[in-house]
Amino acid sequence: MIFDCIVVGAGPAGASAAYHLAKRGRSVLILEKQALPRYKPCSGGVSPAIAQWFDFDFSPAIDLKVENVRYTWKLEDPVSARLLTSEPMWMVRRDVFDHFLVQQAQRQGAELRDNTEATGIEFKNDGWQVNTVNGPVTGRYVIAADGAKGPTRKWLGFKEAKQRLGVSLEATMSSVDLTNVHFEFGMVKNGYIWNFPKSNGYSLGVATFRGGEPADLQKLLSEYAQKFGMDMKTSRQFLHPICLWDGSQKLHTQNAVLAGEAACVADPFTAEDIRPSMFTGVKAAEAINQALAGNPNALETYSQVINDEWGTDMVWAQRLAGLFYRMPGVGYKMGVKRPAATERIGQILCGELRYADVANAAIKKLGGGLIPGMG
């Protein structure tokens, strides 16, 4: 069988693309190297804004909803705030969430072949042959959605993505603060630590956003976890790459597009990646559906849409990140501790505001703390 589209990777981007393509009546094959449901190191914070792109209820895939935020500076000087958004932030377990999305795509007619790793790709007879451990499969189009570590980006001829190091830690606990997400600034140079609750424990993460990466990210995260009362003997820690948005990029090639982390769409200020990954999946499906209908410019338009609708705003996120992480103490005092800061970031994460709406004022406030007489 020749599929209309082969989606490599069953994460949020790939599953979103498969759902929307299958719903349009296209034949879709999802390839996933692991057996589903599969564990995925991730803090699991999801913006409720993703619901606008789908016509089903996400409730079965949501572990918690949290609307309170607590910040600290080197574990002191705490600030508590509430997310004044229309819907609280979702906390999910990625094994449950990703599998749920794939199941929605299957209900629309998409075919899943999990435990089937792709081993190579070659263009033949106006389509792509994807070689797998279980034999070759053929599709007219391909969506590379196999993440920051996936090889499909390279196989399609794209340059190697710039990556930063992230560390995740999972801690199972009987007593969990279910009401707050936690952000720690000051312990990590050029970055921060986040701590998201789940019904049976915590998911922590740490990343840096500029400059050289410290060699002790794992140690710092462990120290934070222990000071938070977590038992390291029952915790799991993982290293993983993060591909931050780094400027306008071409995301299409012959009969193929990049989506999700393979497209380097993580927010360069917060490292948020699930919402932008799903956005690229939705837009990739639109583009390939149009290409299958005969539009010769559909894939080029996909690159333009992602650069315009996501990348343009990420320019402002990069500017904020450059200023904030250069002088995080001032950023904490002049930005984080202001009551409006949580409201604005919450609105950005929930899709109710864009960085462009608030960046000029935020940069002026932060700059006022850096430059005498300014502000």
DSSP 311: I
Digit-coded pLDDT (tens) for 101-123: 999 999 999 999 999 999 999 99
Q: What are the structural domains, with CATH classification, of the chain?
A: 2-62+92-162+246-314 (3.50.50.60), 164-242 (3.30.9.10), 321-370 (no CATH)
User: What is the predicted pLDDT for the residue at 29?
Assistant: 98
Average pLDDT score over residue span 178-192 = 93
Alpha helices of 232-354 — where are they, by DSSP H?
274-292, 298-306, 312-326, 328-331, 339-349
- Residue range 296-306: mean pLDDT, rounded: 98
Q: What is the pLDDT of residue 311?
A: 96
More confident residue, 336 or 289: 289
Q: Which residue has the higher pLDDT, 342 or 289?
A: 289
**The pLDDT of residue 72:** 95
H-type alpha helices, the chain: 12-23, 94-107, 152-155, 217-227, 274-292, 298-306, 312-326, 328-331, 339-349, 355-370
- The CA distance from 145 to 199, in Å, is 29
CB 271 within 8 A of CB 166: yes
Res 198: pLDDT:
95
pLDDT classification of 368: cutoffs 50, 70, 90: low
Query: pLDDT tens digits, residue range 137-159?
Result: 999 999 999 999 999 999 999 99
In this prediction, residues 59-63 reach a mean pLDDT of 98
